[in-house]
Amino acid sequence: MFRAPVVPRARKRSRPADATVSGREGVKFEDVRLYLVERKMGRSRRSFLTQLARSKGFIVEDVLSDDITHVVSEDNQASSLWKWLRECALKNLPDMHVLDVGWFTDSMREGRPVAVETRHLIQETVPTPPEGSAPTAQAVVSQYACQRRTTTENNNKIFTDAFEVLAESYEFNEIEGPCLAFRRAASVLKSLSWAVQCLEATRNVPCLGEHTKAVMEEILRYGRSFEVEKILSDERYRTLKLFTSVFGVGPKTADKWYRGGLRSFSDVLGDRGIRLNRMQQSGFLHYGDISRAVSKAEARALRNIIDEAVHAITPDAVLALTGGFRRGKEFGHDVDFIVTTPELGKEKNLLPSIIKRLTKQRILLYCDYQASTFDMSKLPSYRFEAMDHFAKCFLIMRLEGSQVEGGLHLAEGDSRGWRAVRVDLVAPPMDRYAFALLGWSGSRQFERDLRRFARLERNMLLDNHALYDKTKKEFLAATTERDIFAHLGLEYIEPWQRNA
């Protein structure tokens, strides 16, 4: 029999180490809590491994509880181990790593918790469901988007659309925790190759909390969520959603306008005299076009235009399409590019030259250029900010129908023959290229989880500029995205699998 008293605890997982558990001095890895399964391992070996791990700065708990992050087992059959774990009625079981002792020995050798790889996982074997019944999660799903492959095919849109509304509503109210929880839940559901048809089928799926499941339950039962419907009809939500759809208007400005009694564009643009900055003026001027999705064909046409400009300026320049279109999306809200030069330092003149050229061609409707503030000597102290420090420009470009294969993506009856499109260009120095490319390829949730994974699982700091190993106190060089994944001990995920 498996033996271990289960003590349910309501404490948060990430609380600092406390004094109630023995051997807490010299803890190096606060976020990792091990539990060694005694069955098959035996009492004396378990005790030896416990001492070994504690001496290396690991927290090893004597009791299996919801605080545990890593369950380590030796020689147990997956089915009986999982049966026992299920019987322990742990709330956090879906978020725990259930691992073979191989992970433990690797970690002891390295002196730190090594990356959890598929080979380490003790996977639950799920009996094949009878035909016609709800699909069951067969594989273990990682809590990190960077350990999942997520294409643009979303089998759970009915849930993820609802979660996005909830997340946005929390964002408008500056309530970060639940906002992130709904974004994570949406992200994990997007990665599933099957549509959730009953809640029981999600028992192996992490990141689904009580609130999330309640919303799913409602959708499964009634086809809609009443909480979401209430938000969608809420005046403040609707107004903030409208205002933030304007280029240059963020949640803070939208909220200020709302508190000032403004409810519509005509309120903002009317006599009451809101002073708009240049970006917002352009946002309103081109509102119809910019709020309309950009098609893949339009993105390709813009690539040709930028490509021509960049190479006319610097023949050996490097140009890469990033953002959603690199991930294979059919439509996007803008088109993102990285441009640079093989010769370090030469990239500094690139954006100003491109801007000059596009202006001459009279296809630049708006331009906000921000020179580089990047300074390698300041790394790794940059905390993650919304934006990196590379030179960049936010543009609105005029795109002619004749340049787009199959024509422009315009509203019916629009016969102008051109449209405005939002374009972002970033120009990192070549030695930062891989980091910038990875950072700008998205999705946002994928990026968030890459950074979180690096920090929590590897004791490393990743951002758009660099990867820093805090244990070795050194920067890790990379010329390709694959190098970065390898440094992080992650399987490579193709851009089209990063639609988390």
Annotated binding site for Mg(2+): 334, 336, 424
- Among this protein's residues, is 100 annotated catalytic? no
Quick one: which of 445, 453, 429, 441 has its CA closest to 481? 441
CA 110 from centre of chain:
28
Which of Mg ion, ligand DCT, none does residue 15 bind to, with CB < 5 to 8 Å depending on kind?
A: none
Active-site residue among 334, 388, 449, 463? 334
Interacting residues with ligand DCT between 269 and 328 (CB under 6 A): 323-324
Burial (CB < 10 A; 0-12, 13-18, 19+), residue 413, is exposed
Among 70, 443, 463, 478, binds ligand DCT (CB under 6 A): 443
> Based on CB atoms, which residue is closest to Mg ion, 248 or 332?
332
Q: How far is the CB of 272 from ligand DCT (least distance, A)?
A: 31
Question: What is the token pair recorded at 101?
Answer: 């002792």
CB of residue 445 to ligand DCT, shortest distance in Å: 9
Report which secondary-structure segment, H or E, holds 294.
strand 294-295
Task: Check residue 187 for interaction with ligand DCT (CB under 6 A).
Answer: no
Q: Which of the listed partners (Mg ion, ligand DCT, none) does 442 bind, with a CB threshold of 5 to 8 Å by partner kind?
A: ligand DCT
Lookup: tokens for 282: 């352009």
User: Between residues 2 and 331, which has the closer beta carbon with respect to ligand DCT?
Assistant: 331
Among 66, 336, 388, 449, binds ligand DCT (CB under 6 A): 336
Indicate the DSSP class of residue 418.
Answer: E
Bridge partner list, 378: none
List all residues 6 or more positions away from 452 whose beta carbon is below 8 Å from its beta carbon: 144
| 8 Å CB contact between 186 and 167 | yes
Q: Shortest Cβ distance from residue 71 to Mg ion (Å)?
A: 40
Q: Which does 451 bind (CB under 5 to 8 A by kind): Mg ion, ligand DCT, none?
A: none
Contacts of 417 (CB under 8 A, 6+ apart): 400, 401, 402, 408
Question: Which residues are registered as beta bridge partners of 266?
Answer: none
Residues linked to residue 237 through DSSP beta bridges, in sequence order: none
- Site size for Mg ion (CB under 5 A): 5
Q: Which of 109, 272, 444, 470 binds ligand DCT (CB under 6 A)?
A: 444
390 binds ligand DCT (CB under 6 A): no
In the region spanning residues 447 to 476, those forming contacts with ligand DCT, defined by CB under 6 A, are 447
Question: At residue 469, what are phi and psi to the nearest 5 degrees?
Answer: -90, 110
Specify whether the CB–CB gap between 340 and 430 falls below 8 A: yes
Per-residue binder mask for ligand DCT (CB under 6 A), 423-442, x = binder: -----------------x-x
Residue keyed to tokens 């009996």: 127
Question: Which of these is catalytic: 424, 431, 469, 483?
Answer: 424
DSSP string over 240-257: HHHHHTSTT--HHHHHHH
CB under 6 A: which stretch of 131-139, 189-197, 198-206, 333-341 binds ligand DCT? 333-341
Closest CA to 56 of 9, 109, 94: 109
What are the structure tokens assigned to 43, written together? 């009492």
Q: Is 106 a catalytic residue?
A: no
Measure the CA–CA gap between 48 and 158, rounded to whole angstroms: 50
Residues with Cβ within 8 Å of residue 402, at least 6 apart in sequence? 417
Write down the least CB distance from residue 65 to ligand DCT, Å: 35
Nearer to ligand DCT by C-beta: 60 or 438? 438
Q: How far is the CB of 500 from ligand DCT (least distance, A)?
A: 10
Residue of 336, 388, 449, 463 with catalytic role: 336
List residues forming the annotated binding site: 334, 336, 424
Beta bridge partners of 367: 395
Smallest gap from Cβ 250 to ligand DCT, in A, equals 11
Q: How far is the CB of 443 from ligand DCT (least distance, A)?
A: 5
Q: Which is nearer to Mg ion, 201 or 500 (CB)?
A: 500
Residues 280-339 that bind Mg ion (CB under 5 A): 323-324, 332, 334, 336
- Which of 9, 39, 333, 357 is close enough to bind ligand DCT by CB under 6 A? 333
Alpha helices by DSSP H, listed for 270-396, are 278-285, 287-290, 296-313, 323-326, 350-360
Q: How many residues bind ligand DCT (CB under 6 A)?
A: 13
Q: Which sign does the torsion angle of CA 148, 150, 155, 159 carry?
A: positive
Active site residue 161: no
Angle at the Cα of 176 from the Cα atoms of 175 and 177, rounded to 5 degrees: 105
Q: Distances from the Cα of 232 to the Cαs of 236, 245, 262, 448, 486, in angstroms? A: 10, 15, 18, 27, 43
The residues in 138-177 that bind Mg ion, with binding defined as CB under 5 A, are none
Shortest Cβ 318–ligand DCT spacing (Å): 18
Q: Taking a C-beta distance cutoff of 8 angstroms, is the pair 170, 154 a contact?
A: no
Q: Out of ligand DCT, Mg ion, none, which partner does residue 348 contact, by CB within 5 to 8 A per kind?
A: none
Residues that bind ligand DCT (CB under 6 A): 323-324, 329, 332-334, 336, 386, 440, 442-444, 447
Active site residues: 334, 336, 424
Residues that bind Mg ion (CB under 5 A): 323-324, 332, 334, 336
